[in-house]
Amino acid sequence: MQDDVSRLLSGRTIHYRNPNYDERDRPDEVYIDSVEEVSDWIFDGSSDFLGEGVILVNFEATVEVSVDDPDGGPYYDEDGGPNSSRMVTVGGAVTMSINQDDLRQFPAQSLGRPLLEAATVGIDELDQVSLVSRSH
């Protein structure tokens, strides 16, 4: 799933409001150059069964990314120092597809690890992406 998050985040531009700037200024932007690591996964327990063996499970994750200024220059943080590493939170849904014939043939494997090993698991899109504020 980390590969899916990396594919969906890399090359994306995030707009955010720098709290140190005037409210009337346009939002700042950062360009996500690459994903370094998905450090935290949170599954809230909510899910939707779409039928035909497809289940969506909602998640939120914390991701360390390498960023650039969208105009191609170096990225400077809120304090004016060069820093290309930032944290973002992402949210979306993991899609689990399970072959219905396998479930009928091997019902004991429809729980836990055997279910995950038999299922096709992936993330097709991210519903939310937001920059994590740095604490001063």
Per-residue pLDDT of 15-70, as tens digits, reads 876 656 666 767 778 888 899 999 899 998 888 888 877 888 999 999 999 887 66
Number of domains in the chain: 1
From the list 70, 71, 45, 73, the residue with the least C-alpha distance to 59 is: 45
Is residue 89 included in any domain, yes or no?
yes
pLDDT in tens, 79-129: 666 767 788 999 999 988 887 776 666 665 556 666 667 778 899 889 888
Sequence length of the chain is: 136
pLDDT at site 136 = 40
Position 62, amino acid? T
Is residue 101 a part of any domain in this protein? yes
Q: Note whether residue 72 is domain-resident.
A: yes
Q: Which domain holds residue 99?
A: 2-131
pTM over 0.75: no
